[in-house]
Structure 1
Amino acid sequence: MKRTCIVILGLFVLASVSAAEPIEIGNDLQLFWDDALIESKTGDVEFVLQRPEPKEMILATGEFWEGNVSAYFTFLQDGNEYRAYYRGAHYDTVKKVMTHREVTCVAVSKDGVHWKKPKLGIVDFEGSRANNIVWDGIGTHCFAPFVDSNPDCKPAEKYKALSRGRYVKGSFDTPERQKGIVGLYTFASADGLHWKQTSSQPVITKGAFDSQNLGFWDVNRSKYVCYSRLFIDGVRSIQFCESSDFVNWTDPVKLKYVDSPNEHLYTNAVAPYARNPKIYIGLPTRYLPANSRVEPLFMFSRDGLTFQRWSTAIIPESAPADRAGNRSNYAATGVLQLPDDPAHMSIYGTEAYYTGLDSRVRRFEYRTDGFVALQAKQAEIVTYPVVIGGQAIFINARTKKGGSIVVSLLDTAGKAIPGYTAKDAIAFSNNQIAAEIKWRDGRSLEALVGKAVKLQISMTGAELFSLQVK
C-alpha cells in the first residue's frame, strides 16, 4: 500500500470528554483516523493519509447500449453476490452529441474481481433484450441503488434508489417514459433487477442533483438519509437531508468540513463504514474546472454532517494511466470486503472517460481500516477512559524492522494497573489486522470488564489503524 504523508493540523473531536465520563466503546471498532479517542499524545506522531494500490481492470463499457460516458458506478454487496450499477451512455466527440438514450445497467460478481454482464431480457434496446439493462425510465442519468437495511422494509422494496428527473438530449428522440422534472424521484425493487418508480413527482426538490445522489438507511438515526448535489455561489457542493418514510424529506443542509477549502466536489460516495457503521466515510471526487479533470479524495465523519477531508488525491492520475482526461478519475460509490481476504478492502475507480468507444473501471485495494494511519517514529498515546467490554484487546497495526507497539493499562487517575504495566506487556512487532495484545502471565481483561481504564500505547517505528476490545 502506498502512503502519502499528510499531517492533520486540525483535530476532529466532536465532543469534549472528561476523565469523569468514561467512553462506552463496547465492542465497536475504534479507528485511529483522528483524536476522538486520544486524551494526549507526545513524541513524533501524526495522522497520515494512505493511498490504495491499483489492481486489475474489472469492467469496460463497450456494448452498444453503453459507451464512453458510462458513469456513476455504484458497487454493493447483497448476500454472496456483488453488484455494480451504472449509467450506459455514449458521446460522439466529433459531432459533440449524445448518440443514444441513457440506460441503467448492472454487472455481477462472486468475488469482486471477475465481473459479468448478465443478459437479463428485461429492457428492449434497439430491438434486443439480450443486455444487462435494468431500468429505462426516469432517472437513468444517475441511478444509484442501495440495499435497504431498515428492519421494517417491505420485501418488495428491498432495493431502493433516488435519482433525478432531468434527462439528456442528443441525436435521438427521448422517450416520454424518461422525461421528468428537476428533483429526486424514488424507486424500489424486490431483487434489484426489476424496478418500479414509486413517486410520481420528485420527493426532494431543493438542489441541483446533476450528480450521483445517494440514499441509505442510517442505523444511527433510524431514518433514511440522502447526500445530494447543490451549487453554492457556482461551486459544486454536497447537501444532506433525512426521512422517516423515504417520501417526506427534511430541507437539505450543506455539509461542514474541518479546515478544508471551498472547492468543487462532483460526487460524494458517502456511506456508513461497514466495520463500524457509527463512522461515515466518503470518497468525494474533486472537480478541477480549468481543464475538467477530476480526482478522488477521502473524508470521514462521526455524525454524518461534519467531515474531515484530506486535500491530497487518493488515486493520482498516474495510477496507473488514462486518468488525466475530462472526468476520467472518479471514485465509485462502495467499499467492498472481498471473500477470504479480511486483510484488504476494495474500492473502484474510473478511467479513460469521454474518448474512444468505452470507459473502464479498475479495482483498488486498501489495507482493512487503512484509509488513515496514526504513524509514529517514537511516541506515546494515552486514550480517554474507556469501559472495558471484552476479554481482550486487538489492534490493526504494522511496525518497521526494529519497531514495536506496547499497550499498558492505567486507571482513570493515570496510575499503572498492576499486571497490565508496560513491563508486563508483550511488545507487538509485526504486521497484522487483528493482533491480540498479551501480557506475560497470560492474563485476560476479565478482571477489568465493566471498569474504566486508559490505554497507554507506546509506539516506535509503527503505524496504528484501529483497535477493538472484544
Structure 2
Amino acid sequence: MACLVGLLATVGRTRTERPVQAAVGRPAAGVEPHWQLFLDDHVIERSTGFRRVVHPPRPRGVVLEPDQPWETQGLSIMHVGRRRDGKFECYYRVHGERVLSDTHAYAVSDDGIHWTKPDLGLVPAPGGGKSNLLPCGAPFDVGFLGTSPDPGKRYLLGLGDHPRGFKMEMFFARELPDWQNDPKWKDKLTRAGTKPSYKLGLNFWDQATREWVFMRQSPNPPPTRCIARWSTKDLKNWEVRSVLYPDAHDSSDPRSFDEAYGMHAMVTEGLVLGFIEWFKGDQTRPDLAVLERELIGRVHMKGPMETRIAVSRDGGFTWDRTVSREAWIPHGSQPNSYDRLVVMYASPVRNGDEDWIYATVIDGDHASGMGYGRPGRSRGALYTQKHNRYVSLQAGNTAQVLITKPIRVTGRTLQLNVDGSRGEVKVGVGIDKPITIFDTVGHLPSYMVRDRQNRTHLEPGFQVGQCRAIHANSIEHTVEWKDSDLQVLQGKTVRLYIMVRDANVFGFRFK
C-alpha cells in the first residue's frame, strides 16, 4: 500500500494539470454554449466501470422516392434544411440515363416525411417540359455547421456550364435561394473560386490553419480506400493529404475487407464529427479484376456499406476512432435489404429535441449489376435520434463515478444530456487539493472521492450526496444541489464527479 501511495504521489508531482477548454473555440454571440460529448476521452480523466455505448438512430424508412421520369437510377440526398417559412427543403442528386452527372433537384415538405417535388421552371426536363431540376449543385452549410466567420458565407453553391454538367464554379450565399419566388436569386451570390472536381465542396473553415476543408475519399491510395483532407486557402489552389486509414484493428479478411470509402464532416459542439462510409468488401471474386482494376485494387468488389462516426479536434488532420469500431447506422442484413448500403452526404437537421438524419440507401450490394445481381436503387431514408445522443457512458446497477479532467466553470448552471429514467445520476464538484499521506504529498484527485480520513476534493455544498438525484430522460437537464448554487464557482477550475447507476450520460455543458 505504501509503495502504491508513493507511486501515485510521484505521478501527481510530475504531472502538470491544465484545464480542458469548455469548447474547441468559443461559440459566437447568441449561439448556445458547446457541449462536452463523450465521443472520446478528451474531457475524461477516469471512466473505470463504465461502458461506452454507440446508440444507432431509429430507422423511419424510405421517405424520398425516385419517381420522376429522369430519376431512373435513383437519387442521393445531399442537403436537408429548414426554410424561413418552417418547411423542410431537400437538395438531391439525380441518377439517370437522361441526365448529366452533376444534376440536382429540389423537394419540399411540411413535416420532413412527406415530400413534394415542385415545378420550378428553372431547368427543362429531359425531353422538354417543367421539372424540379436545379441550375446548381448541392449546397454546403459552412456557416452554422462549418464555422465560417463571415455571415455572408453561410452557404456554398456550385454553378457552371461544363459540357458534362459539372458545377465547378463556387459561390457563397447568406441564404439559400428562394427558388419558387425569387427570379433574381443569382444576384445575391458572391463568387468564391473553383474546385478541381464536381465531387468536392466545403465542410468547414479551419481557423487554426486559415483554410477551407472538405473531407472525402483519397484519390488512388494503395492498397485500400481511405479518407483525405482536401483544403484550400484561396478557393483556387487545393492540397490533399490522406488522414484516416483502416488499421490493424479492422478486418483484413478477404471475405469482409474493411475500407473507409468516404466521409461527410461537420463542425458541432466545438469538434469535427465525421460520418464515415464504411465498406466491407468481398475480395474473393477473381473475376472482378476483369471489370476494372486501379491502384486501389478491385474497385467493383461486392459488399455492404454502413455509417460509422469518428472525431477530430484539430481540423481534420487526426481522427479519434474510439467509437468507429462498430456501426452507428448499420446496413441491412440481407442482400436485397432496402438499406444494404447506407451513405450520409447531408448533416443532421434539428427538429425539436431530436436530430433527423437523412441518408441515401441502396437496396443491393456495392457494384450490384456489374458482374452479379441487378443494379440497386438509391433512395432517401430518414433516421431519428434524440439530440447529440450518438454515444453514452453507461453504468450498470453498481454505481460508478466518472471523473473529468480539470475544466473551467464558464456558466451559471451545469446541464447534462442524460437518461436516468431507470436509475439515478448525481454530480459532485471538486477542486484539486494536495493530500498528505504517510508524510508524502499526493496529488490524487483522480483516484479518490473521499479517503480513509474522510478528506475529499469535493467542495462544501457540492458533494455527490448533496446533489438532487436525477431520474430524468432529458437532453438538457439542469443539475441542482440542495443548498448551493453553481454561480459561486463560476470562473474556477474544477473536476466533475458524476455518479451513475443504471443510467446513460451523453455529455455536459456549463450554461
Length, aligned pairs only: 411
Structure 1 pair 456/72, CA: closer, same or farther in 2 (3 Å)? same
Q: Which residue of 2 aligns with 1:411?
A: 431
Q: Which residue of 2 aligns with 1:34?
A: 40
Q: Which residue of 1 aligns with 2:56?
A: 51
Q: Which residue of 1 aligns with 2:380?
A: 361
Question: How far did residue 293 of structure 1 move?
Answer: 2.5
Map residues 318-397 of structure 1 onto 2, 5 A cutoff. 318=332, 322-323=336-337, 328-338=341-351, 341-352=352-363, 359-377=378-396, 378-397=399-418
Cα distance in 1 between the residues matched to 2:469 and 2:231: 46
Question: Secondary structure in 2 aligned to 1:122?
Answer: coil
Structure 1 pair 76/260, CA: closer, same or farther in 2 (3 Å)? farther
Cα distance in 1 between the residues matched to 2:240 and 2:344: 27
Decide which structure has greater strand share. 1
Q: Deviations over 1:87-124 (max 9, x none)?
A: 2123xxxxxxx454342112233443332222111112
Question: Secondary structure in 2 aligned to 1:135?
Answer: coil
Structure 1 pair 214/286, CA: closer, same or farther in 2 (3 Å)? farther
Larger radius of gyration: 2
Q: Which residue of 2 aligns with 1:294?
A: 305
Map residues 252-263 of structure 1 onto 2, 5 A cutoff. 252-255=241-244, 261=250, 263=258
Gaps of 5+ in 1: 1-16, 91-97, 137-142, 166-174
- Residue type matched to 1:147 in 2? D
Question: How far did residue 343 of structure 1 move?
Answer: 4.1
Structure 1 pair 148/36, CA: closer, same or farther in 2 (3 Å)? closer
Question: How far did residue 254 of structure 1 move?
Answer: 2.7
Q: Which residue of 1 aligns with 2:476?
A: 434
Name the TM-score, length of structure 1 as normaliser. 0.77
Cα distance in 2 between the residues matched to 1:176 and 1:392: 54
Q: Deviations over 1:342-393 (max 9, x none)?
A: 2444343424367689542111012211111111123111111111111111
Structure 1 pair 113/39, CA: closer, same or farther in 2 (3 Å)? same
Would the aligned equivalents of 2:428 and 2:496 in 1 still touch at CA under 8 Å? Answer: yes
Cα distance in 1 between the residues matched to 2:231 and 2:244: 13
Map residues 14-413 of structure 1 onto 2, 5 A cutoff. 20-25=17-22, 27-42=33-48, 44-71=49-76, 73-77=78-82, 79=84, 80-90=86-96, 98=97, 100-102=99-101, 103-135=103-135, 143-149=137-143, 150-152=148-150, 154=152, 159-161=155-157, 177-178=163-164, 185-188=168-171, 190=173, 191-192=176-177, 203-204=195-196, 213-218=200-205, 220-221=207-208, 222-230=210-218, 231-255=220-244, 261=250, 263-273=258-268, 276=269, 278-290=270-282, 291-303=302-314, 304-309=316-321, 310-318=324-332, 322-323=336-337, 328-338=341-351, 341-352=352-363, 359-377=378-396, 378-399=399-420, 401=422, 403-413=423-433
Question: How far did residue 240 of structure 1 move?
Answer: 0.7
Gaps of 5+ in 2: 1-13, 24-32, 180-184, 253-257, 283-301, 369-373, 434-444, 446-456
Structure 1 pair 234/21, CA: closer, same or farther in 2 (3 Å)? closer
The worse-fitting range, judged by mean Cα deviation, of 288-297 and 347-356 is: 347-356
Would the aligned equivalents of 1:148 and 1:160 in 2 still touch at CA under 8 Å? Answer: yes
Would the aligned equivalents of 2:354 and 2:387 in 1 still touch at CA under 8 Å? Answer: yes
Q: Which residue of 2 aligns with 1:172?
A: none
Cα distance in 1 between the residues matched to 2:376 and 2:130: 20
Question: How far did residue 435 of structure 1 move?
Answer: 1.0
Would the aligned equivalents of 2:60 and 2:383 in 1 still touch at CA under 8 Å? Answer: yes
Structure 1 pair 348/253, CA: closer, same or farther in 2 (3 Å)? closer
1:453 to 480, 494, 498: 494
Structure 1 pair 70/423, CA: closer, same or farther in 2 (3 Å)? closer
* Percent identity over paired residues: 22
Cα distance in 2 between the residues matched to 1:59 and 1:116: 9
Cα distance in 2 between the residues matched to 1:82 and 1:451: 43
Q: Which residue of 2 aligns with 1:424?
A: 466
Would the aligned equivalents of 1:54 and 1:320 in 2 still touch at CA under 8 Å? Answer: no
- Residue type matched to 1:352 in 2? D
Structure 1 pair 197/452, CA: closer, same or farther in 2 (3 Å)? closer
Question: How far did residue 228 of structure 1 move?
Answer: 2.7
Cα distance in 1 between the residues matched to 2:119 and 2:172: 18
Question: How far did residue 70 of structure 1 move?
Answer: 2.4
- Residue type matched to 2:274 in 1? G
Name the TM-score, length of structure 2 as normaliser. 0.71
Decide which structure has greater helix share. 2
- Residue type matched to 2:461 in 1? G
Would the aligned equivalents of 2:216 and 2:264 in 1 still touch at CA under 8 Å? Answer: no
- Residue type matched to 1:101 in 2? L
Question: Secondary structure in 2 aligned to 1:446?
Answer: helix
Would the aligned equivalents of 2:104 and 2:138 in 1 still touch at CA under 8 Å? Answer: no
Question: How far did residue 72 of structure 1 move?
Answer: 5.6
Cα distance in 2 between the residues matched to 1:83 and 1:245: 30
Cα distance in 2 between the residues matched to 1:151 and 1:129: 41
- Residue type matched to 1:451 in 2? K
